[in-house]
Chain A
Amino acid sequence: MSSPMDGPMDGDRHGSASRWAGGPMSEPAEGAATAGDPVLLIRDVTKVYGEGEATVRALRGVSLTVEPGDYVAIMGASGSGKSTLMNIIGCLDVPTAGTYLLGGVDVGALDEVRQARVRNRRIGFIFQSFNLIPRMTALANVELPLAYGGVRAAERRRRALAALGLVGLSDRVGHQPNELSGGQQQRVAVARALVTSPTLLLADEPTGALDSTSTRDVLAIFDRLSLGGRTIVVITHEDDVAAHAKRVVRLMDGRIVDDRRQAPVDGPPPLIGDRPATGAMSER
């Protein structure tokens, strides 16, 4: 592991497990993390929208296991159900049937407050459309999850600055989203997702709205995060993006049709070092 991965990532899997100790979910969370259980365990998940004639079956029984440190790309054409799967994994939506364990915890069984806590601490979300909060500086945006997590102001600022440094935006901390380019906004979003040291980094078409240069920047960050041992799940329909992942899962019509491993779980991501890191990142 390289030194640039210090800072907001210092809490690795074991670290985050210890933070959960004492919380309402402490026992299952600890058990999951220390025993090397899968980060993500989905079994026979289905999702049905609408009723009667207008019924849409977005997921028709998906089972998926993601090991700690894996870098999974979920691919599929539009309408294949990948966004629905993503929302379920991200605790934004609940499956119609099936079980979903995040670090050994059945998320669907949790109450509102605990679900919010799971979203806050265990999942880092990166959206296609960045979803930064307007009229708030990059720093304030990155600090936000920590604020909701109850972290003290000074500590929050330190971690947010470290996360922004990691994505090469130390010189943009005071800028509002509308003063940043798309690539920069997405890097702020990545920093925001990283800042709580989540067990799972979840990205929904993270490069869908970016040009090729920004896409390379963001994918390079993902590669380095994967190298640092972070578990990443990326939803995409682009082969270029999937090529960076250690494992590619293809969805079609709400079912998994292909599951291919490109690199071992505990090895480096396949395309790491293929291209030089960006200037901003090589400084660190």
Chain B
Amino acid sequence: MNVLEITRFAVRGLTANKMRSILTMLGILIGVAAVILLVAVGQGSSDVIKQRIQSLGANTLTVSASFSGGFGGPAGRGGGGAAGPRTQARGLTLEDARAIASSGDAPSVKSVSPLVTSSSATTTYEGASHSISQVVGTYPSYFEATNKSVTSGAYFTNQDVTAVRKVVVIGKTVADELFGQVDPVGKKVNIQGAGFTVVGVLKESGSTGGQDADDVAVAPLPAVQQSLTGYGSLGGIVVQATSAETTDAAEAEITAILDQRHEITGSATADYRILNQASLQETVTEATGTFTVLLAAVAAISLLVGGIGITNIMLVTVTERTREIGIRKAIGAPRGAILGQFLIEATLLSLVGGLLGVGVAVAGSRFTIAGVQPVIVPQSIVLALGVSVAIGLFFGSYPANRAAKLRPIEALRFE
């Protein structure tokens, strides 16, 4: 009595009740497909988020003014200094930016771009009107630091900055809203009453968490200060580090320079904070990891339910075929053969269901789910299949044991 023989009996047992076998497999199929797909969705969204963080700019640090103090992001400082005396908080100034850029104390810094921002700026072009969600006044180095490139036209130049020329590079959304099919380069738009000449259109970068990253306009810093924000403190300073490895060094250097300039000593809370792209990415990766684990846990529950379905159906099968088991025993089937037959039946159910589930998941991952393109993780396939087979063995062993333990006389008497 070899395994092949017993497998044949098992297959015969399964095909005798096709509908039931298919429905049981469906439970496992859904479980396995859910595990693989949800992990793929988690992976996909994690990839997208990582990509977006990278698109915000490689190796960049964003310095912004902090008036609340005591609360810093993952890269903010001063969390432990809340008890210390707080001197008058100062905003960031152009001088701060110059100090970081020009002093020899910051060798890890590649470029420094001071920023001012104005939100919801009403812009008109001929008859069309659009409220740009963010107008940024900065230096040309900003484009490189934040990974922004133009599809048509050009960036503005340092001459544009020093000459306070009213030129602007607009985002894709702004171009679409105001110009439609017309090429915006060279056209003059009116932002909050001031005339700006469009010199370039930015490449589409997609929306970031509900906020349209393409609904922007970037203009030279003094031009924006002059016509929109006034000459107050800066909204922030974008610093690009020389490489990914030097971002932490750059952060330390900036901290040293700003602490000195803002006269922050010892226990005092800093009046600025630094957002480090690299550590932000770390945090986000951690968060999406948790998210993926959560999704997988939900899916695993459905796999478990599928496994219980197998136990249920195998119990019914054993009860239904008690008489057959009795006959088999009467003609000399050893306990192992009966146990094997029912175990293999259960395992086949889960294995075939699992394989079909993998097929469904692979097919399903070709579609966008909830705005995310799923990315299949190969390990999740191996894991889900392995678990489904283990489930078949585990959940099938109870009914199979019950079948094998039946006394032949009792099994034969069963009606």
Interface, chain A (partner B; CB < 8 A): 87, 90, 92-93, 112-113, 116-121, 125, 127, 131-136, 144-145, 147-150, 192, 196
Contact = CB atoms under 8 A, between A and B. Distances in A.
Interface string B200-236: 0000000000000000000000000000000000000
B335 A149 contact: no
Contact of A116 (B2, B5, B329, B409): B329
Contact of B1 (A119, A121, A147): A147
Nearest to A195: B331
Nearest to A120: B332
B1 A133 contact: no
Contacts, number: 67
B16 interface: yes
B331 A92 contact: no
Interface string B315-338: 000000001101111111111110
B329 A119 contact: yes
Given A113-B334, A119-B329, 9 more contacts: A112-B334, A119-B330, A133-B328, A134-B324, A135-B12, A147-B5, A148-B332, A148-B333, A149-B1
B56 interface: no
A147 B332 CA distance: 10
B334 A116 contact: yes
B101 interface: no
B408 interface: yes
Contact of B335 (A113, A127, A131, A134): A113
Given A134-B324, A135-B12, A150-B1, A144 B409 contact: no
Contact of A93 (B16, B324, B337, B409): B409
B412 interface: yes
Contacts of B409: 87, 92-93
Interface residues of B, number: 23
Contacts of A149: 1, 332
B415 to A, nearest CB: 10
Contacts of B328: 133, 144, 148
Contacts of A120: 331-333
B264 to A, nearest CB: 83
Interface of B: 1-2, 5, 12, 16, 323-324, 326-337, 407-409, 412
A147 B341 CA distance: 13
Contacts of B333: 116, 120, 148
Contacts of B407: 92-93
A207 B329 CA distance: 23
A92 B323 CA distance: 13
Nearest to A130: B327
B16 A135 contact: yes
B16 A119 contact: no
A117 B333 CA distance: 8
Given A87-B409, A93-B409, A148 B330 contact: no
Given A93-B409, A133-B324, A135-B12, A125 B334 contact: no
Contacts of B2: 150
A86 B5 CA distance: 30
A146 to B, nearest CB: 10
B327 A133 contact: yes
B408 A148 contact: no
Contacts of A112: 334-335
Contacts of A133: 324, 327-328
Nearest to B8: A147
13 contacts: A92-B407, A112-B334, A113-B336, A116-B333, A116-B335, A120-B331, A131-B326, A148-B1, A148-B331, A148-B334, A149-B1, A150-B2, A192-B331
A119 B1 CA distance: 15
